[in-house]
Amino acid sequence: MNRSVLIIDDNLTVCLMLKSWLVKQGYMVETASSTSEAKKMVKENPFDLILTDVRMPDSDGLTFLSWVKKFDSDIIVIMITAYADVESAVLSMKSGAADYIPKPIEPEYLFKKIEEAFQMQELKQRKRRFANDFIVPPGEEYQVLLSQLDQIAEYNKHQLFIGARGTGKVSTVRYIYEKGIYLSGPLVLLDTDQLSDCKSSGWQHPNTEESCSLLMEKFNAARGGLLHIRKVDQLDTNLQNELLNLLTRQSKDEFFTQIIMTTEKNKEILEKTFIPKLYNLLVEESITLPTIRGKKEVIDAFVIHFLHFANHNLDKQIQSIDRAIYQQMYEYAWPGNIQELKNSILQAALLTEGKHMPATITPRLFGKNMWKQGGQANVSNVIHNLRKENYEKEKIIEALRLAKGNKTMAASILNIDRKTLYNKIKLYNVNT
């Protein structure tokens, strides 16, 4: 996927020169002549990199840099400076800029600095993603799971994971990918919701007779890597047969593509949904991900992990949590499992001032009846009765509120990538 770049300079000649250089290098490039114009563009597009002059007529570079980092902390910012502004550029790096480039700009030096910035970000994202996505709490259940995942990664096996909402299906796939032998290959997601969306619009895939068969397109994109099929139970009979062929007829060569499938449906439902051959191949050897309800040691481990994550990303220094909050966590049903617990800790951290998380935040955090299983059941019924787009829109709005508008944090809360978040914000017309 081409990386997108925004160039900000009030000198049109500089903008066009840099754009010409970068387009030839394969970048998708937009330009802006002021920071006010740039802010509008950043709100609309998930830019990977911003090149901006330190001195702009309507705002200084440091102020704009601060705004970008609050809005979307994953955007790389490189400052362009005149010789006399090097001191300002160094200060900007302390404020979050990846680097600075002095004028006059040499194209090869520019390309080198940009590539170094992307490489550094990739290393940081891998460490952050791996550390945040998959941890192993105490207990034999999770130790067995970890051993199974390591074997799947080592032997490059196809696998079906069954897991209730929020049990960590996406994190499990990423763990296998990170540990796998084909890490240099792509990780591609096929969300089967895309299939139903395409069918409803009447779109025809050019390479298949079936309506909207994105399966082969995604499989080809994942060649030599890993294909994650989310909600595999939604595949129709034709696509199930297509999947069966992919699972059983691949050659174990350098282009072998590992296929990991996930679903929230139980085995009884899958027996009615899958064609017999696919059911027999997948379900007997499927792995069911654990839930966290009532597991004190597991909840404790996730709470400590997510509190550390919240402190780091929300600039908090919370060191302790009131025991009354822990007790309520042990008694809560956790229908959303790990993901719901993560969101709760992030929200609790935002509500906490100081180093101790007090029990007094509980009513503001969960509401009067949210800790009661009966009350939660009513809330769940309401959510399930919502149309998909309304539910997704509300979740996005809530995630943005929790993240104080930061797109990177909101995407982490929703467990999606930031470009998907931007697309959904546009789709549902969410104000940011």
Q: Kindly report, residue by residue over 326-355, the tens digit of the pLDDT.
A: 998 998 889 889 988 988 888 888 888 899
The tokens for 113 are 């600095």
Report the CATH number that the domain containing residue 347 is assigned in CATH: 1.10.8.60
- Interval 422-427 mean pLDDT: 87
Angle at 219 (CA atoms; ends 270, 162), nearest 5 degrees: 25
With a cut of 80, say whether residue 308 has pLDDT above it.
yes
In the chain, what is the greatest distance between 2 CA atoms, to the nearest angstrom?
A: 72
- Interval 316-333 mean pLDDT: 92
Please check whether residue 169 lies inside any domain of the structure: yes
The parent domain of residue 329 ranges over 296-427
> Do 38 and 152 belong to one domain?
no
Identify the domain boundary among 96, 112, 130. 130
Please check whether residue 246 lies inside any domain of the structure: yes
- 230 — pLDDT class (breaks 50, 70, 90): very high
C-alpha to C-alpha distance for 319 and 308, rounded to whole angstroms = 9
266 alpha carbon, distance to own chain's centre: 25
Q: Kindly give, in sequence order, each residue whose CB lies less than 8 Å from that of residue 227, ignoring residues fewer than 6 positions away.
A: 188, 190, 218, 219, 257, 258, 259, 260
With a cut of 80, say whether residue 11 has pLDDT above it.
yes
Beta bridge partners of 228: 189, 260
290 alpha carbon, distance to own chain's centre: 21
Q: What is the pLDDT, as a whole number, of residue 86? A: 65
C-alpha to C-alpha distance for 203 and 356, rounded to whole angstroms = 54
Identify the domain boundary among 130, 156, 189. 130
> Do 45 and 180 belong to one domain?
no
The residue to which tokens 């779109």 are assigned: 203
Report the CATH number that the domain containing residue 228 is assigned in CATH: 3.40.50.300
Please check whether residue 36 lies inside any domain of the structure: yes
> Do 86 and 178 belong to one domain?
no
CB atoms within 10 A of CB 368: 9
Angle at 49 (CA atoms; ends 48, 52), nearest 5 degrees: 155
Q: Which residues of 235-244 are buried (b: 16+ CB within 10 A; e: fewer)?
A: bbeebbebbb
C-alpha to C-alpha distance for 349 and 197, rounded to whole angstroms = 37
Please check whether residue 254 lies inside any domain of the structure: yes
Rounded to 5 degrees, what are φ and ψ at 225?
A: -130, -135
C-alpha to C-alpha distance for 96 and 61, rounded to whole angstroms = 12
> Do 422 and 387 belong to one domain?
yes
> Nearest CA to 258 among 227, 235, 287, 218?
227
Q: Which helix (H) or strand (E) holds 24?
A: helix 12-24
Q: Please, what is the average pLDDT of the chain?
A: 83
> Do 168 and 282 belong to one domain?
yes
- 129 — pLDDT class (breaks 50, 70, 90): low
Identify the domain boundary among 130, 146, 173. 130
With a cut of 70, say whether residue 155 has pLDDT above it.
yes
Q: How many domains does the chain have?
A: 3
Q: What is the pLDDT, as a whole number, of residue 182? A: 66
> Do 13 and 86 belong to one domain?
yes
> Do 173 and 278 belong to one domain?
yes
The conformational region for residue 163 under phi > 0 = left, psi -120 to 50 = alpha, else beta, is beta
Q: What is the pLDDT, as a whole number, of residue 134? A: 66
Please check whether residue 432 lies inside any domain of the structure: no
> Do 247 and 183 belong to one domain?
yes
Please check whether residue 363 lies inside any domain of the structure: yes
Please check whether residue 414 lies inside any domain of the structure: yes
C-alpha to C-alpha distance for 11 and 34, rounded to whole angstroms = 10
With a cut of 80, say whether residue 163 has pLDDT above it.
yes
Report whether 319 contacts 355 (CB < 8 A): yes
Q: Which residues of 372-409 are buried (b: 16+ CB within 10 A; e: fewer)?
A: eeeebeeeeeeeeeeeeeeebbebbbebbebbeebbbb
> Do 218 and 327 belong to one domain?
no
> Nearest CA to 351 among 362, 341, 342, 337?
362
> Do 282 and 305 belong to one domain?
no
Report the CATH number that the domain containing residue 39 is assigned in CATH: 3.40.50.2300
Q: Which helix (H) or strand (E) holds 356?
A: strand 356-357
Q: Kindly give, in sequence order, each residue whose CB lies less than 8 Å from that of residue 354, ignoring residues fewer than 6 positions away.
A: 318
- Listing DSSP states for 126-188 in one string gives HHHHHHHH----SSHHHHHHHHHHHHHHHHT--EEEE--TTSSHHHHHHHHHHHSTTTTS-EE
Q: What is the pLDDT, as a whole number, of residue 314? A: 75
The tokens for 285 are 């050897």
Q: What is the pLDDT, as a whole number, of residue 28? A: 95
> Do 311 and 392 belong to one domain?
yes
- Interval 110-120 mean pLDDT: 92
- Interval 238-267 mean pLDDT: 92
Dihedral over Cα of 27, 30, 34, 40: its sign: negative
> Do 277 and 420 belong to one domain?
no
C-alpha to C-alpha distance for 371 and 127, rounded to whole angstroms = 34
Dihedral over Cα of 400, 404, 407, 413: its sign: negative
